[in-house]
Structure 1
Amino acid sequence: MSTASNQSNVPAPAWTLTTPFHKAPYPAISPSRLELSQAGKTVLITGGNAGIGYAIATAFLEASAAKIIITGRREGATRDAAASLTAAAANPGGKAVGVVCDVGDALAIDALWKGFEKEGTGVDVLVLNAVKVADAKPLLESGLGDVWSAFDVNVRAQLQMVERFYKQKQEGRVPKNLVNVSTFAIHNHLVAADRPAYGLTKSAAALALQLIAQDTSPETMQIVSMNPGAVLTEAAKGAGYDEESFAWNSPDLPGRFAVWCASPEAAFLHGRFIWCEWDVDEIKSGEIRKRIEEDPFYLKVGVRGL
C-alpha cells in the first residue's frame, strides 16, 4: 500500500474546513499521547484484516489497547492479519485475535456476540469498517437485489452490530466508544452519482448513527462518523485505481484518526461526521468549535439549503 504524498501539511482544498489539510499522521493524533490512551480496552474492528481496518487496528495497539479483535470473511487472511498485528504491536502486552464473521449474515453477527458473552469478553470500542462497495451502475440498472444486498451490509449489519455492542451484558464499560468509518460520498453528490447504491446506503448508515446519538449521551456511548479519505488499499486497486488516480492518504492517517475519534477529546463531535484530513486542533477550538456548540445540525446528514 503506497501513497502519492507523504506530506502531512499540504495546501488545503477550497472546500475543506481547516488548514492544514493532512495527508499523513501528525502529533495531535499520535496514539502515544496519554490523552488518547486505550490502555486496558478491548477493541472490535469489522473488516480489520486489511486496508484501512488493519491500519486502525495497528493504531489502537500503539495506543496500548489490551486486545484487538478483527473480523473478516476469509479465515486464512483474518488469522494471518491478527498474527502480524500481534507480532508488530508496539504495546508488549497487546494482542490481536482474528474471528471469521461475514457481517452480511445476520446469524453470523449474533453468533459473534453470543461467543463474546460466553467467553466473558466485553468490548469497549467498536469500529464499523466492513463495507460493501456497490457497482458503478444506476440504481434501476443494478436491480433491487443488488441494491438491497448493499443495504444488508452497509445498514442492517451496522445497526445490528451497534445494538449488540450497546446492549452487551458486561458491566463497567462506560463510556463505550463507537467509530463509524464512513465516506464523503454521503455529501459529495458526484461520488454518490457514480456508485449510487454505495452513496445511498452509507448515507443511511450515517443518519442511523446520528439518530442513535441523539438519544444516547457520549458519557454512555460516544459516536463519531469519519471519512477516512482516499487510501490505496487492495480493494481500491481491485476497483481499478492506481497510484496515479489520486493524491492518496497514508493509511496511518485514518488509522490514528480513528483512535482520536474514540478519545474524550472527540466527545464534542458526538453524532457528527468529520474528515480525517481536517486538523483536530483547529476543530477543537475557534470558529469551527463555536459553530458546533451553537448549531445542533452542523456536520450532520440533512438537506443542503434548508
Structure 2
Amino acid sequence: MSAAVAQLTDPDALTSPFALTKNYYRDVYPAVNPTNSKNSAKGKSVLITGGGRGIGLGITLSWAKAGASTIIITGRTMTFLESAIEEIRKISPSTKALAFPCNVTDPTAVQSLFAKTKSEIGHLDVLICNVGGISHAEADLKIGEKSPKDFFYDIDINLKSDYLCIHHYLNAFGFVNNPTPPTGTIISVSTATAGFVLPGLSSYGIAKLAAVRLMEFLELEYPTIRGFSVAPGTVLTDNLATYLHRFALDTMELAGGWTTYLASEQGDYLKGDWVSVNWDAVEMEEHKEEIVGKQLLKSGFLNVTPRPGGYPWGEL
C-alpha cells in the first residue's frame, strides 16, 4: 500500500477518485458549518469518544461552535482532555463541558462511563464513536506478518469500542425493550478503507467494514436511532502514516461540521448510510430520493445478486 501511494504526486489523488458529487471539499463550507443555524446544537447533549485530540478534538470544538448544551469527552490522557475542556469554554462559556477518562475497549469502564453520564445529565442526545486507529501503520504488515495480538488490537479499537459504547448507550438511556423508546443519534467515525481490500490493511479494513454494517443493523433494529458512518477524509494527525502526510489536506473542522449537520433533521435521509466529508452535502440533498431509493450509500456483499435459477451468464 505505502509503495503504491508513494508514486502519487497529486495531493487530491486519494480524494478526487472517490467523489460521489461533482464538487468535493477539503475544508468546512456553509452547508456543514457548525455556526450555520440549521446545524445548531442548542439544547443538545453529546458524548465524543477520543474527543480530546486529533479528529476528535475537531469534532468537539465544532459542537462547541454549534452551541451544544453539554459536551462530554473521553480519552485515556487527562492532559489532552483538560486542554480540550478549556477550549470548549472559550468558544462557548454556556456549554457544560465534562471530561471522563475511559478506555473504550474495556467493557467495565464503558458501562461505568454511561452510568456516570446518565447520572450527570439524565439524557444523551448524540453519541459520536470517534476512537480508532491501526497498529504499525507504517509497516504494511500482511496476514501472517502481523501478530495476532496486533491484529486483534485493531479489531478492538475500531469495532469493539463502537459496539461497547453503542450497547451501553442503548441500555443506559432506555432504548432496549422499550415499546416507546426515546430518539437519539449515533455517529461512527469511519474510513474509505472500509470499502477496499488493500495489502497490509486487513485488520483495519475488516474492523471498519464491520463497524459500517453495525450502523446498518442499528438502523433496522432501532428505528428511533439516527445512525451514520462518516469518513473524515485524510487529516494530518499524530498517528497518520508518514507516506500519507502530503495528501492530508482535509481539516478536522470539516469532519466536525459534518457531525453537526448529520445530527440535525437535514441528515434524516442518510440514516444507516456511509458518507464521506469530502462530498457536497448540498448536491447530495438535491438527489436524496435517488440515494435512498437505490440505497447508494449502503454497504454491499457481492458484485452479483444470486437469484432463483442461477445467474444469467452473459445476459446482463
The normalised TM-score by structure 2 is: 0.83
Match of 2:209 in 1: 203
Q: 2:194 aligns with which of 186, 196, 215?
A: 186
Matches within 5 A, 1:103-182: 103-135=104-136, 136-169=140-173, 174-182=182-190
Question: CA separation in 1, counterparts of 2:259 and 2:49?
Answer: 13
Cα deviation for residue 167 of structure 1 reads: 2.5
Unaligned runs of 5+ in 1: 1-8
Q: Is the 8 A contact 2:131 2:161 kept in 1?
A: no
Q: Is the 8 A contact 1:166 1:221 kept in 2?
A: no
Deviations 1:56-104 (A, max 9, x none): 11111111101111111112222222222222x1x33114221110112
Q: Is 2:209 the counterpart of 1:215?
A: no
Match of 2:303 in 1: 305
Aligned partner letter, 1:127: I
Q: Rate the CA distance shift 1:247–1:78 in 2: closer, same or farther, 3 A.
A: closer
Match of 2:35 in 1: 32
Aligned pairs, how many? 285
Aligned partner letter, 1:103: V
Q: Is 2:271 the counterpart of 1:270?
A: yes
Q: Is 2:289 the counterpart of 1:290?
A: yes
Question: CA separation in 2, counterparts of 1:129 and 1:188?
Answer: 20
Question: CA separation in 2, counterparts of 1:187 and 1:41?
Answer: 32
Question: CA separation in 1, counterparts of 2:58 and 2:266?
Answer: 21
SS of alignment partner, residue 251 of structure 2:
coil
SS of alignment partner, residue 140 of structure 1:
coil
Q: 2:236 aligns with which of 232, 237, 242?
A: 232
Question: CA separation in 2, counterparts of 1:253 and 1:34?
Answer: 16
Cα deviation for residue 247 of structure 1 reads: 4.8
Unaligned runs of 5+ in 2: 1-11, 305-316
Question: CA separation in 2, counterparts of 1:173 and 1:43?
Answer: 18
* RMSD after superposition: 2.3
SS of alignment partner, residue 94 of structure 2:
coil
Q: 1:50 aligns with which of 43, 49, 53?
A: 53
Question: CA separation in 1, counterparts of 2:194 and 2:24?
Answer: 20
Match of 2:100 in 1: 99
Question: CA separation in 1, counterparts of 2:181 and 2:233?
Answer: 30
Higher radius of gyration, 1 or 2: 2
Q: Is the 8 A contact 2:34 2:66 kept in 1?
A: yes
Match of 1:3 in 2: none
The normalised TM-score by structure 1 is: 0.86
Cα deviation for residue 213 of structure 1 reads: 1.1
